[in-house]
Every structure is written in structure tokens, then in C-alpha cells.
A and B are shown apart, each in its own frame.
Chain A
Amino acid sequence: MNPVELKYNKEHEYAKIAGNIVTFGITDHAQESLGDVVFVELPEVGAAVTAGESYGTVESVKAVSDITASVSGKVVEVNTLVIDSPELLNSDPYGDGWLIKVEAEDLSPLDTLMTAAEYEEFVAEEEH
């Protein structure tokens, strides 16, 4: 299930907050819908990302998906594991399949994100 300590956006991505460092990743529902992930493109450490804008792509065998930053800030760490092993997004999206860590300029955009319970409701509604 979706961890309760995370926040979720409508693009089926999560944000994990530790102080002003926010970790981005895709949700279990996202990996399930995408199917086998075979390619991930991420920014470099030091690059700037903007809340609400694309910072990279995740590609499955059949589909290309943009990934969206939920806060603005500077990339402080990139998960190089998923570059070589994109299947980690399928097998462990909330663990080893995380994507980047961002030092947030401002945490307030996170207030607009959903809680785990709200996100689950959102997923259920979307499927109808």
C-alpha cells in the first residue's frame, strides 16, 4: 500500500519529506499502469527543478511519461541505481526505486498534495 508518511500528486508521483530535502518517486499505481520500466532520464546533481514542471522521463516498453517536480529547488542527489536498473521502479517504487532528492526552496507547494488516503480515493475515482 501507499506509505502514509508520503504526499502524492495527481501524476501518480510521491514526495517524501525530511527537513527541507524532498525525495521524488513514482507510486505503485504508476508503475503498475506503466508496465515494465526500461529507461529513466533524470537531471544531474546541481540542476534546478521547478514545482509543477517536468524534470525527466520514465519509459516503459510501450509508453513515455514525464515526471513532475512537486517543489522547486536544487537536485542534491540522483539515484544512479535506477539508471542502470530501471526495473527497480517496478519492484520497489517507494524504496530503491526513488528518483531524485531536491533541496526545497519552499515547502509550501507540498500543502496542495494528497495524503495516502486521499490519493487512494483519487486512484479509485480515476479508474471509473
Chain B
Amino acid sequence: MAELKRTPLYEEHKAAKAKLIDFGGWEMPVQYSGVIEEHQAVRKNAGLFDVSHMGEIDVRGKDALAFVQRIITNDASKLENGKILYSPMCYPNGGIVDDLLVYQHTPEHFLLVVNASNTAKDFAWMLEQVQNFQVTAENISDQYAQLALQGPQAEKILQGLTNVDLSTLTYYTFRYGEVDDIRCLISRTGYTGEDGFEIYVSPQSAQQLWRRILEVGSAKGIQPIGLGARDTLRFEARLPLYGNELGESITPLEAGLGIFVKLDKTDFIGRDALLKQKEQGVPRKLVGLEMIGRGIARSHYLLQKNGEEIGFVTSGSYSPTLDKNIALGLMRADLAVLGETLDVMIRGKAVQAKIIPSLFYKRG
């Protein structure tokens, strides 16, 4: 087995007795105190995540904006310096290469933040597309550690450590500043459905920053959070996960990401296929499911209606916030009607579920 990669915070996780797992080639903490307790800490107070495994790709050059526009489905021409855009990135057939965040430093300089397990694939894909543009793309993932501070107390905790006026740092914007005298890129983004920040910092300073945020946050109930709760948090907020809701054989229109596909902007990779799919009707739809029968629907379990296969579960779990067993499923669009029932096949047994709105959790 290949050696697992470790983030600069590995020793912190070990010292905290976190349970470590192989996540896409990275040795990452899956839980510290327990998934449910960590999940509740983020919903009620605050949580700190090590997401240093995420990939960062730096794009510079005269054609940087045109290049970004070419590879993503959302419209980056609406961006301003210091603003962030979420977008799928597609293959010509409309299947999804990855979903990413686009940070605009200037129209000639962008930072693209991609999924850890897709970084190498994404970077290779970008290099294939770069040829017709005056652009350089560089994989600078090793130059960044990333911490996510999430939850209703996140702003108060971080404000105690920085001169940046966080009340003016609005959702999906970023700024450089000092946190505990460490130079950081502070981004008001996250993957939990809560308010919060993603903080990019040099690997050398990650440990100090991690410790200081936990110290300052302890009075406000902060906890370190593993990938287990990261998954249940994002799932309740219907934030898609590549490999589950998104993949090479799923289009963003099917995955419910139509608002991030701007078919009327300049041409982009996948546009023809997505336009055609939109005109002909999207064959599958991502729905929310609530279990009626006893059981938990898990990723890849099949969905049936009257014994006929109609789709599959993309993510499913016990929901700590709702105290219910819920799931997201990709299924035949013509049968995706709110309130209708279907069967989830659990270990050969049909267990009834109901189609419900898929945004299971929205912060109050």
C-alpha cells in the first residue's frame, strides 16, 4: 500500500486521540469525541476542521478569466476581486470532473480550490485545456494548509484573533489578513450549512493557528471535528459530495445544480451536452428521501418502485439534527414527485421511503 499523505496537523490529531482513516490517500481524522457530538457542536456552537487535504490550483495570465470561463459551468465574469464562485467543472459530455470554488484575486489571477481526491485528475484536466490560452496553471496544494471554522460562534471566535473586520466579510468573499499574527487568506465559506470561515495558511503556521483557535474558542464550546461529522453536516444541508451526488456519469442538471450552469454565457466545456439535456428534459433528478420503514439507506443502495429499478441512493444517514433516517437519491425524473413513496433495497429487503424536499436543514 502506498504511504498515506499527512497534513501539517497530523500530530495534533494523534495527540487528541482522533480516530484516523485513509481518505483518498490521506490519513485524516474521522472523529474525535464522536460523530453525533461533533455534529451538534457545529450546529450549536462551533467546530474546527482540518481540511488541508483540499487541492489548490493557481491560475495566472492574461487569459486567466477566459480560461476559467472555458472550464467551469458557472459565470465567472460576474466575479469581482475578493469574491468567490462555486461551480461544477464538466467534461464535453456534461459529466462532472469536479466541483470547485473559484477565488478571484484579479481577472488575471484566480485560485481554484478542488476536492482532495480529485486534485491530480483536475490538474491534469486543466493542463489539457490550457493550451489555447495565455495562462499558467500550477498545483500549489502543498503550499497551503486549510482550516475550516464553522458554526454560529465562528465569527465571534475568529474575531478575537484578527484585525480583519469580519462583519464586513460577507458570504462568498475573502480577504488576506493576520490571524494571531499569522498571514492568512480568510474566506467566508464552508461545507456545513452553518456560517463560518475557511482559512488558508502556510503549512508551517497551521499548528499554531489550530491550537490558538481551539484555545480561544473553548469558552464558546468549540470542538475539533472529523470527516464523519463533516459528511453528516454537509449532507443535511444538501451540499453535494463528489463520488456520491456528483460524478463522471452525472450531470450538474441531474444533481440539482442547474443554477450553477449558465448556458447563456460564453461557450464552455460541456455546454452543448447540457443544453441538449435541458431541451430534451433531464432524465434523472436528485431527491430527498425519508425512511418510513425501519432502516438506513446507504450510498449505492438501489431504489425501486413496484419492483422496478428507478435509481439509487447517493448519500444516506441517520440525521442527528432531525433525528430521522434520511437520504439523497438520484432517480427517474418522471417519478420524482414530492410525497410519493418508493422502496429502498436494504440487504435484499424492500424498505419503504417517502420523497421529501431535499434541503433537510437550513439554519434559522
Chain A positions near chain B (C-beta within 8 angstroms):
35-36, 38-39, 41, 57, 59-62, 64
Contacts and interface: CB of A to CB of B under 8 A. Distances in A.
Nearest to B31: A35
B35 interface: yes
Contacts, number: 37
Interface stretch (B64-72, B170-178, B294-302, B327-335): B294-302
Interface of B: 19, 30-31, 34-37, 228, 231-232, 294-296, 298, 317-318, 320, 325, 347
A39 B228 contact: no
A38 B347 CA distance: 17
Contacts of B36: 36, 38, 61
Nearest to A64: B298
A57 B295 CA distance: 10
A35 B296 contact: no
Contacts of A35: 19, 31, 34-35, 228
A38 B298 CA distance: 13
Contact of A36 (B34, B231, B296, B347): B34
B317 A61 contact: yes
A62 B296 contact: no
Chain B interface, DSSP helix/strand/loop, else mixed: mixed
A39 B318 contact: yes
Chain A interface, DSSP helix/strand/loop, else mixed: strand
7 contacts: A35-B34, A38-B325, A39-B294, A39-B318, A39-B325, A41-B294, A61-B318
Contacts of B231: 62
B317 A41 contact: no
A61 B35 contact: yes
A61 B325 CA distance: 10
Contacts of B325: 38-39
A64 B36 CA distance: 16
B8 to A, nearest CB: 25
Give the most central of B36, B317, B325: most A CB within 10 Å: B36
A57 B31 contact: no
B294 A62 contact: no
Nearest to B291: A39
Contacts of A64: 296, 298
A35 B34 CA distance: 6
